[in-house]
Every structure is written in structure tokens, then in C-alpha cells.
A and B are shown apart, each in its own frame.
Chain A
């Protein structure tokens, strides 16, 4: 018995030693990423709605930037520089966005900002950032005027602010793509247009309407809703009496979901089609079964389908974030990483240190940023728009958003 015990103990000891050796070698390999113990700390600001009805999208943006910052520190992406994140809640309100822009500009450690979500908020922030040469990269703004100026639709494109960039594609593509889908693919000919009176909603409906009528479609009626309202009965009545085949909605899901619910409850079982502001699981949650048969376009290809996004998806899950990365997660990560790449270029060109005017240098470096990101190749054109222009049509089937088709702009 004593002999057997001795044998077993020896084997266990040997096994334990070998196991510890194996664990040790794994830890050594994974721990080679560096600790981010740089001598200079810079901040990447985030501006997004972190509370309120759009917080699901805003928190996805915040978490994705957080992941980018942590990854950059772990891999010692810019030797000598440690990144940190500071997130401010704009509550989806332009006034708050303006205050946040001032606060971020006032913090000298802020080297760049990711955000905002809403185009209407961006309009109030751009000038403040631009005056301070503070780079702003939005993962979600789609209003074309932000990069191409107010007269973009007449062919007079002029970049208003050199510090503004975005990774999302614009409504100059989103609206017409939705119109082509509705008219040519779904065969719908009569639309009722609804917007929420803000820059994003009005702009999106405008680009949709323009293409839809050029295709031969007709506008059966048009109405505007107040964001945050709960009773859409007058709009529902107008839609019903118009005889429209479908509704095109410019706005976000907190308004679109009750609208479709009230419309279907009133017996008008026509599709509501919207833009990226509608594309969120909360839309289905709020509208219930009334959401079935509705559509939304959103920026980019589905992140889950991109081979370039697999690491992001895995790391996001491993990061333990309680909220989903949402429609803009991949673009938010890429927005933050674009800033990190610009900082890297600036530091590399300045003997491994940040220059005395880092914001100006980063702004200048942004135009040459080019890397393989979560959403594909990330770079910017002369207006600050993403060169990678993709968008996808999603439809609600059995209470779940499902991919219908992706479009890629190669022109």
C-alpha cells in the first residue's frame, strides 16, 4: 500500500510540474503584449447618448472605444504613450453636445474624440472642435452636410471642418439605396413620408424622396412627428387615408417603434422602412409583433459576417460588457483606432515623443490613416468621409432583425 501511494504521489508531482510548466509558458506568451506603461497619457474622448432612449446605441459606442483603448495599451501600440478614455453623455441633445465639446477641448490631455451618434448633435460640436484642432471621428453620423457642406445636393461640395471625420457612410447613399430597395426590389410605388424634424431625420427623408420619385414612385403624403411623443394617432390617420403602400421614416427607433405599433393596431398593416436610426433590437422590443415586415437600412455590412471583425466580436464578449456593441460598435472601434493610428504616426515622426502641438499634428495625420480595421479598410477621402462605403438592408422576421442584402459603393 505504501509503495502504491509513493508511486501515485510521484506521478501526481510529475504531472503537476509539467502542468505548471505548460501554464507558465502560456502566461509568458500572452503576457508579451506590454502593459501600456507609457510615460505620456493621452485621452480619447467619447460623446454619445449614455442615458435616455438612445442609450443602447450610445453605450455600445462607449464600450467599443473602451475596448480599442485597452487593446492599444495591451499591445503597446504606441510605445511611450498610454491611452485612456473619457466618455461624456450628450443625452442626444445638441445643447449638451455643445457643452461636452467645450469640456473636451478644455482638457489638454484629450487628443481626439469619438462621436457623436446624432448628426444634429454633431452640427453643434464641429466648430468648437475645429477651433481647437481637435479631431472628431463619428461612427454614426450620416448627414452628408457634415463633411460636404450645406450645398452638397446641388453638386457644390465643400468640406466645412478639417477636424471632422467619420467612419459611417452617409445618407447620400443610404436614402437612395433604401428607395431603390423599396421601389425596385419590393415593388412599392406609393410612400408616406414621416420625419422627426431633426437634421438626421429630415435629411434622410429628403434623400429617400428624391430617389424614390426619380424612380417613378409617388408620395402619397408627408408628416412630421415630435421626438419623444407617445401619441401618433394623427399621423396614423393621415397614413391610413393616404392609401400609401408603405411608410418611410426618418428618425430613431424610440419614435419609429410606437408609430409602427399604432399603425398596425389601427388596421393598416403596411411596412415601415427606416434608416440606421431604426436598426436596433429595441425597435422590435418596443413594437412587438407589429415590427414584423418592417425594414431598416444601416451603415456597413453585418459585423458578424466580416472576417475582419471576428477578433473584435470575440474580445468584446471577453470584455464582459453588459450591453451589446450595437449597430455602431465596429465603426466606433475603428474610429478610436484611427485616432490611435494618427497618434502613432505623429509620435513616430517626432523621435518617439508627442510633439508640442499634438492636436494639430494628429489632425494632419488623420488624412493619411490607412489600416485594416473591424469593418474593412479604414481611410478617409478629401472630405473626411470613409472610403469604405457599405450599407445593409435588414428586415424584421419573427421578431428578429435579419439581413436582407448588403450594398457596396465602389464608384
Chain B
């Protein structure tokens, strides 16, 4: 078996085909050669794109929600200690339930006779999954303009995330309502 090579017939056939193709190729015009050379490549690109575009796409990542939609604000109560002057403190927790960071920009009350400050001062950043406690320091500026028996007082909180800035009214519930009335009645009495 030594010296035996590839079967001669196959080699000859191949060479013959190459010869016939090169003769035919040289006979074509330059423009036609270009079309023949690039045509299959273009079709392959088309086929690839067709496959790619019709392939089921993974779901788009969820858009970051409007900031208020994933912020939970809850009332924690009044801190221990004796309030003085015309002020009273209330404590709230802000939890960021989104995957994106959130900023508490502002907290206000609509009562004309009441001013509100916070500790820490705003804005405050709340990281995803984090809860931040904020102290509301309410001052009775004009006791004649503070309702003392309304049922649904709320605070307006402005939130910001990478998508938008938005405000939500946080209705903190019965415990906040009764603490607010009691504290403001006492503050107005002291003042």
C-alpha cells in the first residue's frame, strides 16, 4: 500500500471542474462577477436577519415605575418625650420597593395654619429595598387655620426616580389622624 495516494479519478474530476469554472468565470463581465460574488452573501445576511428577527425575543426589562408606585409610606407614631412650644413630632417610614433608587424630595401638608419640616432634611435617597425613617416636625403657625377633627388628613410626598418626579398624597390612617389632632390641640394650648 506504500505510495498509494488519493484516488486519481477524483483529483482529475476536481481539476476539470475547476478548469471549466475558471473558464466560465473569466467569460463573465466584471459587473456580473460582482453580482455573482456578492449575491449569495447578501442572501445569507437576509436569511440571518430573518431568523434573528423572527426568533422569540426575551421580554424587555421592566421599565422603572413611576416613583410613587413603588414607595410605601407608613406612619410609625409619635416619638417619646414631651413636646414643647407649638411643635409636635411624627415619625414615618419610607420603603423603596423598586429595583431603582428613589429620592424623597419634599413632604408638605396642605393646612394653611401648619408648617412642616423634616429630620433629616430633604432630599433623602432611599436605595432599593431600603427603609428610611423620617421625622416630621409640625409647627402650629396659625391655630385658627388648623382643622382639629377632620377624618382624612394626609401628607403630600414628592418622589423622584430615574424615570420621573411625582407627588402622592399619603393618607396615613386613624392613628396619625388622632395623634395629629391631639398634638396640635396641645400645641395651640401651649402657644
Contact = CB atoms under 8 A, between A and B. Distances in A.
Contacts of A18: 47, 50-51
B34 interface: no
A215 interface: yes
A307 B47 contact: no
B150 A215 contact: yes
A307 B73 contact: no
A221 interface: no
A119 to B, nearest CB: 20
Contacts of A407: 154, 168-171
Interface in A1-26: 4, 7-8, 11-12, 14-15, 18-19, 21-23, 25-26
Contacts of B177: 411
Nearest to B65: A307
B171 A408 contact: yes
Given A22-B50, A411-B75, A173 B171 contact: yes
B69 A176 contact: no
B36 to A, nearest CB: 7
A305 B166 CA distance: 11
Interface residues of A, number: 41
Interface residues of B, number: 47
Interface in A376-411: 389, 405-411
A22 B51 contact: yes
Contacts of B68: 406, 408
Contacts of B111: 184
Given A22-B51, A22-B55, A26-B54, A411 B172 contact: yes
Contacts of A198: none
A12 B74 CA distance: 64
A315 to B, nearest CB: 14
A319 B174 CA distance: 43
Contacts of A405: 156, 167-169
B75 to A, nearest CB: 7
A305 B154 contact: no
Contact of A307 (B46, B69, B110): B69
Given A22-B54, A173-B171, 19 more contacts: A4-B35, A8-B39, A25-B55, A176-B151, A177-B152, A177-B154, A180-B152, A307-B62, A307-B69, A405-B156, A405-B167, A405-B169, A406-B168, A406-B169, A407-B168, A407-B169, A408-B168, A410-B171, A411-B171
Interface of B: 35-36, 39-40, 43-44, 46-47, 50-51, 54-56, 62-63, 65-66, 68-70, 72-75, 110-112, 145, 147, 149-154, 156, 167-177
23 contacts: A4-B35, A11-B43, A14-B43, A18-B47, A25-B56, A173-B152, A173-B171, A176-B151, A177-B154, A177-B171, A180-B153, A184-B112, A214-B147, A301-B69, A305-B69, A405-B168, A406-B68, A406-B169, A407-B168, A407-B170, A407-B171, A408-B73, A410-B173
